Amino acid sequence: MTRRTRLFRFAGIFTLFLIGLLAMGGSAQVALAQTSPIHPTFPLLDENGQNVLDSGAPVSTMATCGSCHDTEFIADHSFHVTVGLDQFTAPGAIEGSHPWEMSSGMFGGWDATAYRYLTPPGDQEFDLGVPDWIKTYGLRHVGGGPAMETPDGTPLTELTVTAGDPWTHSYDSETGELMAWDWSKSGVEEMNCFLCHFPQPNNQARKDALESGEFQWANTATLLGTGIVSHEGDEWVWNPDAFQEDGELDADHVTIQDPTPENCGACHGAVHMSTDPLTPAEITPDDWHTIRTGQIFSGQRLKDTGLNLENKQDLDRSLDVHAERNVECSDCHFAVNNPVYYQEPLETRPGHLLFDPRRLDFGEYLLRPDHNFARGQTAQHAVKPEYQDAMRRCESCHDAESTHDWLPYTELHMDTLSCESCHIPKLYAPAMQLDDWTVITPDGQANVTFRGVEGDVNDIHSLITGYEPVLLEQTEVTGESRLTPFNLITTYYWVHEDPERPVRVEDLKAVYLNEAGDDYAPEIITAFDANGDGTVDSAELRLDSDEKVQMIKDRLVGLGLTNPQIRGEVRPYNVNHNVAHGDYATKDCQVCHSQDSLISRSFVLAAYRPGGVDPTIKGDNNVKFTGDMAWDDETNTLTFTPATTESGLYLPGHNHVDWVGWIGLFSLLATLAFVVIHGGLRLYEAGKHAHDPHKEPEMRTVYMYTFYERAWHWLQAITILMLLATGIVIHRPDTFGNLDFGIVVPAHNVLAAILLINAVFAVFYHFASGEIRQYLPEPRGYFRQALMQVDYYMRGIFRGDPHPFAKTPEHKLNPLQQATYFMILNVLLPLQILTGIAMWSAMRWPNVMRSLGGLTWLAPFHTLIAWFFASFVILHVYLTTTGHTPLEGIKAMTVGWEEVEVEGREGTAVADSSAAGAGSVGA
């Protein structure tokens, strides 16, 4: 019987079974809940296809599962299996990576935090042979791939031992000798289906089997504890009671299931799905995602956990809203051909199709499920790049527009920020900060510093403060860049030789430890033990002086290494989990729109630099590091400070252009100075020439301003003042009130709309009524008249001279006013309106704004004009006091009637009736 027909026959039987179940009523489903509701019973087969009950041999998952599922296909379509084997190459051939890396996967690639290095073929300086790799990294490898074959596809069991070949040798760190590896004795580790598809796989027993070199038993060991197999002494014994008479596994023991978060968490990070409090003990060094970023997958509320969190009683949010709401790992990271989840990408789907119903049916899928799982677009894991962004991202499930109507400029925010930027405001577990492999502890580990915790990370009494991830720009698969949160881990390590490669752990041990390897060498203790207590603690275990660096360098050279150097590198680690519900996301505008903006907040990289070396940014990823790395001698920290302006971001309230501020301030202060000096002189002179009746002009009362003109003026005046007030809050929220952007920004926009509408009506009015002529200077004699007005302001006004031009309802404006208003109303105001509209339009049409230069250009320009407006307002108000009496001008603009000097009187320039003869209300 072929696999396919067996599977289909099963599907038929299963359907009948389901119908029977339904007929029996719902209760039968409960009885089945513990076992697999769908998977039939099956025999456990060894690699020869014999029932393990008969042969006593280790179970072969490829044969057992392969009797129905196409396990060859699955192994070939799984980056969890290949982990880089399929792109294995010579050292140095992987672009952008370290010169000693041979792939970008776990097999052949090199990760500074994991450190151990697979020896390349032909290299006699062994760190890890392939058997050692399985013992070391196999613990987090699902088997198959490099644990079964070489990059050219030769089964490991068929290899012949050649001298120094890493595939057939293991390095014995005790003796420092290479040992030939007998693959026929150890067997190989097949792809381990049980690890992900059993509810409680025994990963520890599997690891023990791998570490002891019993590779072929690793998959069997995974079943330890299920009652199917037991480990007695060195023997693995299959339990006949767990099997039916026909040799198939008893239905009670068939608990095959979809992978749960716990399955994924076994290798990827801390997962806690029960209602019992999450305890610190559940976070182990093997939880890489948790250790590296602080991510924990759990729906538990933080305050209900058993973690020693700062301000815990107030932490109402759950660790991860998706976990809380029953979204599991495989809901986003699904098998890409799973017919439930499969959705053709928008790029290839015809535009008229919302959903293409054609897909694998379940039988076909169960035969050949593609185990290349959909995944996001992280800075790590370059293996199988074609699956980057295959998974559903936030936007695939969430209609963010509908829930962010409270957020001004939604689209602009979404274009600039990933969802995670606001929805993962903080991580609540310690995360690696500095991983210092320039030194080594007696148990063979680096000296690691964590962020987000006060004190020793291994002490459950240490206070977990958590940390706010740094926002960096990441180029997504679509080509767009958005800010998204990261942890940055700095690693330091020794390299040697040329081309470089990392110094082996064995060599580090030889340098730092005594011969027994259980403590530091006496010379090391003498050199490093700063407090003289006879031991080297983790605060002392650092290369913080030239002498220490030289000492270690000498000792490395003494081992025969050439040219040892300290290298430091910073790597970004994406933070995508631990998503907070909107209630707990960053919503306060001032978090970013303020001086101390989140997007430019310094992120501590390290509290010391081994050997004083500045680390380099690891650039083989899609993250842009725009900003500055700097060592601060005062705080003794190495920090990275993002500089988002370099990538074209301008955040109102955070960014400002200095020269705009200086020019604006100068204009404002100069105006003020003029007003103070001029006004002071006027007061002084007024005292000297106290009331000279000869100079008292003859007065008459005229209806100067119509109701509409006054209403227009004051509406404009008030809106401009309020625009200046709200504008300055938006520009410098820290200095001016720190008011909520959510109110101030819309208020500014509404006021601007009123100003604009008012201006449109006014333009119409002025044209329709002909009043526009007030603003039009008479070309002939304009300069002479203007000079007369200047002369008046400079001299005549102090003497109490009459105004050179009488102000009449027909000629309200003097030549200077005409010039000024022309500038204000025809240049500044339109410019301000246009730049304002351009910035406002970003709310709906962000591309329009971008094509106009973006906020980087528009916002400073808008600010500059606002300074000029502010200056104008001051001057304007001051000059209103130059009328017949100081308050006459304001009174006229309020009630319409004004007392003005009678025209044509002696001393008043006689202008012909068509010339501008207006009077006093100043520019």
Partner 1 sequence: MTRPRVPWIVGAIVTVLVIAIPLYFFLPKNSSKAEEAWANVPTHPVHTDHKGLFTDYTLESGSDVTNACLDCHPDAAQEVMKTSHWTWENGPYELEGRDELVYGGKKHLINNFCIGITDNEPPCTACHIGYGWEDESFDFTQEENVDCLVCHDNSGAYIKKNAGYPADSVDLLAVAESVGNPTRENCGSCHFRGGGGDAVKHGDLDNSLLHPSDELDVHMGKYDFSCTDCHRTEHHDIAGKSISVSMDDENQVYCTDCHNEKPHDDERLNDHTATVACQTCHIPEFARKEATKTEWLWSQAGQDLPQNPHEYLKIKGKFVYEKNVVPTYAWYSGTADRYILGDKIDPTVPTVMNMPHGGIDDPEAKIFPFKVHNADQVYDTVYNYLLQPKTFGEGGYWSDFDWDKANRLGSEAVGMEYSGEYGFAPTQMYWPTTHMVAPAKDALQCESCHTKDDAPGRLDWEALGYQGDPMYYGGREQQLGVAPVSTEEQK
Closest approach of partner 1 to the CB of residue 194, in Å: 16
CB 29 within 8 A of CB 21: yes
Stretch that binds partner 1, among 174-182, 241-249, 353-361, 746-754 (CB under 8 A): 746-754
User: How big is the chain by its Cα radius of gyration, in Å?
Assistant: 39
Q: How far apart are CA 32 and CA 518, in angstroms?
A: 53
Closest approach of partner 1 to the CB of residue 310, in Å: 18
Closest approach of partner 1 to the CB of residue 660, in Å: 28
Between 222 and 263, name the residue whose CB sits nearer to partner 1.
263
Nearest to 507 by CA among 496, 499, 498: 496
Between 611 and 919, name the residue whose CB sits nearer to partner 1.
919
| Non-local CB neighbours of 913 within 8 Å, separated by 6+ positions | none
Between 670 and 750, name the residue whose CB sits nearer to partner 1.
750
Closest approach of partner 1 to the CB of residue 874, in Å: 21
Which of 13, 686, 743, 794 touches partner 1 (CB under 8 A)?
743
Which of 519, 873, 896, 909 touches partner 1 (CB under 8 A)?
896
Q: Specify the pairing of strand 271-272 against strand 603-606.
A: unpaired
Identify the bridge partners of residue 487 per DSSP, sorted by sequence position: 573
- Residue 659, both tokens: 């020269």
In the range 235-264, which residues lie near partner 1 by CB under 8 A? 257, 260
Which of 64, 491, 719, 774 touches partner 1 (CB under 8 A)?
719
Q: How far is CA 115 from the centre of its chain?
A: 26
Q: Contact letters (x/-) for partner 1, 664-703, by CB under 8 A?
A: --------------------------------------xx
| Non-local CB neighbours of 541 within 8 Å, separated by 6+ positions | 436, 439, 441, 447, 528
Nearest to 664 by CA among 622, 581, 597, 727: 727
Q: How far apart are CA 843 and CA 806, in angstroms?
A: 49
Between 92 and 199, name the residue whose CB sits nearer to partner 1.
199
Between 93 and 750, name the residue whose CB sits nearer to partner 1.
750
Which of 165, 328, 507, 898 touches partner 1 (CB under 8 A)?
328
Which of 12, 746, 830, 904 touches partner 1 (CB under 8 A)?
746
Does the bond joining 846 to the residue before it have cis omega, within 30 degrees of 0? Answer: no
Largest CA distance in the chain: 132
By CB under 8 A, tell whether 27 contacts partner 1: yes
Between 49 and 746, name the residue whose CB sits nearer to partner 1.
746
Size of the site for partner 1 (CB under 8 A): 47
Q: How far apart are CA 67 and CA 399, in angstroms?
A: 43
Which of 180, 237, 530, 750 touches partner 1 (CB under 8 A)?
750
CB 218 within 8 A of CB 206: yes
Between 34 and 162, name the residue whose CB sits nearer to partner 1.
34
CB 52 within 8 A of CB 45: yes
Q: Contact letters (x/-) for partner 1, 93-122, by CB under 8 A?
A: ------------------------------
Which of 3, 4, 301, 312 touches partner 1 (CB under 8 A)?
301
CB 575 within 8 A of CB 466: no
Nearest to 203 by CA among 125, 159, 262: 262
Q: Contact letters (x/-) for partner 1, 580-609, by CB under 8 A?
A: --xx--------------------------
Stretch that binds partner 1, among 24-32, 52-60, 82-90, 779-787 (CB under 8 A): 24-32
Between 117 and 869, name the residue whose CB sits nearer to partner 1.
869
Stretch that binds partner 1, among 154-162, 381-389, 820-828, 892-900 (CB under 8 A): 892-900
Stretch that binds partner 1, among 415-423, 739-747, 778-786, 810-818 (CB under 8 A): 739-747
| Non-local CB neighbours of 638 within 8 Å, separated by 6+ positions | 490, 604, 605, 606, 607, 608, 609, 614, 615, 629, 630, 631, 632
DSSP string spanning 894-914? HHSEEEEEPTT-TTS----TT
Closest approach of partner 1 to the CB of residue 54, in Å: 32
Q: How far is CA 762 from CA 780, 820, 834, 922, in A?
A: 27, 17, 17, 20
Between 232 and 399, name the residue whose CB sits nearer to partner 1.
399
* Sites of contact with partner 1 (CB under 8 A): 26-27, 29-30, 33-34, 199, 257, 260, 273-275, 299, 301, 316, 318, 323-326, 328, 406, 582-583, 702-703, 707, 710-711, 714-715, 718-719, 722, 742-743, 746-747, 749-751, 753-754, 894-897
